[in-house]
Amino acid sequence: MHDFRYVKGRLHCEGVSIDSLIKKHGTPLYVYSSSTLTDHFQKLDTALAPLDHLVCFAMKSNSNQAVLRTLADLGSGFDTVSGGEIQRAIAAGGDPKKCVFAGVGKTETEIAYALRKRIYCFHVESEPELERINRIAGQLKKKAPVAIRVNPNVDAKTHKKITTGTYDNKFGIAFEKIPGVYARAAKLKNIHLRGLQMHIGSQLTQVAPFDAAVRKVAPLAVKLKDQHGIEFLSIGGGLGIMYEDALASGDAKWWNRKAAKDILTPAKYAATLVPRLKPLGLKILIEPGRFISGNAGILVTRVEHVKNTGKKYFAIVDAAMNDLIRPAFYESYHEIIPVKKTKARAVKTDVVGPICETGDTFCKDRPIPRVAEGDHLALLSAGAYGFVMAGTYNTRPMPAEVLVEGRQAALVRKRQKVKDIWEGEATAPWQK
């Protein structure tokens, strides 16, 4: 569920009209719902209540300070993949003792920073990384808490670019090699073996791949607990969201339909996994991103031109692939709706941006109510992997971001100015 809906024919985020935000802040504009972030976090947290657990929000999905602060105030930990993300989490009020540090290429500087901040754990992806962490921890006269990431070779049945748990992927250490790696790690003077970690992929909409991975890894975790005293198992993130029917899914009644019975929810996720995890006697970490933030955000855009070639009908908008790259990168679907509800006839439309790339396309031949110059559209389910993956291609400034809570709205990131894009650049001394 989420808190975006039409009220008297106008799209609202909670108690605030999107029209009012457009008037004040312009477009392209990201809008986030605080109540949706809270609801999604609490649904997961409650579903896992029978377990000793920690929810670590995957910052890579959305790292806006206001979003992070909302979750930190709820007690969330943070799944980070860079030293910069650790700094962001702390700046937003996050507790470094609830931060885990993942990623296959941690630098020496990042490792040292994380050790000084006393993070909860490093998720180690390779033996060379383990040796590097041990060396740096020794230099700092510290013990580094680590969990080695096991690659269980389980196909998540998701998009090839977000599958992470097979031997074709760059992540983790092969399942069969894990006991030997832990045995060697136990001999390293500056390593504290705190846990075991896995992650098999993103945007999973069925529980079966999660179940297969847990069933495979659980006996290994028990063995490592007995042999090395590990205290937790991280089962990663990956819980998917509704992209199609995104608007309708904001209504509780929609979830009572017969057709919704097969949709994966936190309750169904927990019903399968909690009975398998509870007997382990380990703390369980979960690292969701998309599930919490995805349907908590939208991208609002203005129609600049309508172009009818006789064969194609184009709505050219002021947002572009640099603002939301998922459709170009992943061929992903985002529901696109008018900010002002209309009775206009639906027309098969390509919604495209102004960038000089054919891939700058948000949808093709999608039936959308006929639009005109100056109309506004909302791309739903844009709260995850939206702004965080944005760039300044074509020297286009980064969009603004707004957080809504009830009837309050706050600008939580100013729109970038064009001149700020080249701040830090300089001409060479010989260029006059």
Q: Are 352 and 327 in contact (CB under 8 A)?
A: no
The predicted model scores a pTM of 0.94
Q: Which of 347, 349, 353, 346 is nearest to 316 (CA)?
A: 353
Output the CATH code of domain 295-417: 2.40.37.10
The DSSP code for 363 is: E
Q: How far apart are CA 77 and CA 98, in angstroms?
A: 5
Among 409, 429, 415, residue whose Cα is nearest residue 27:
415
Residue 165 confidence (pLDDT):
45
Percent of the chain past pLDDT 70, that is, above it, reads: 96
Q: What is the pLDDT of residue 174?
A: 87
In the block, which residue shows the tokens 């885990």? 100
The span from the CA of 422 to the CA of 420, in Å, is 6
**Residue closest to 11 by CA, chosen among 318, 250, 323:** 250
List of long-range contacts for 216-220, beta carbons under 8 Å, 24+ apart: 216/152, 216/154, 216/175, 217/150, 217/152, 217/175, 218/276, 218/277, 218/280, 220/150, 220/175, 220/178, 220/179, 220/196
pLDDT digits (tens, 9 = 90+) for 282-335: 999 999 999 999 999 999 999 999 999 999 999 999 999 999 999 999 899 999
pLDDT at 202: 75
> How confident is the model over 205-243, as pLDDT tens digits?
889 989 999 999 999 999 999 999 999 999 999 899 999
Question: Could you confirm whether 121 is annotated as catalytic?
Answer: no
pLDDT of 201 > 90? The answer is no
pLDDT band at residue 155 under the 50/70/90 scheme = low
Which of helix, strand or coil describes residue 314?
strand
Pairing of strands 232-234, 191-197: parallel
Instruction: Flag the least confident range among 48-52, 65-69, 165-169, 245-249.
Output: 165-169
Q: What is the DSSP letter of 308?
A: E
DSSP letter assigned to residue 321: T
Both ends of the chain: CA-CA distance in Å? 58
Q: What is the DSSP letter of 30?
A: E
pLDDT, tens digit, 9 for 90 and up, residues 66-95: 999 999 999 999 999 999 999 999 999 999
How do beta strands 313-317 and 361-369 pair?
Answer: unpaired
CATH 3.40.50.2000 is held by the domain 34-292: no
Check pLDDT > 70 for residue 249.
Answer: yes
Among residues 13, 99, 121, 356, which one is catalytic?
356
Domain boundaries defined on the chain: 34-292, 295-417
Per-residue pLDDT, 420 = 96
Residue 164 has pLDDT above 80, yes or no: no
Structure tokens at 335: 């529901």
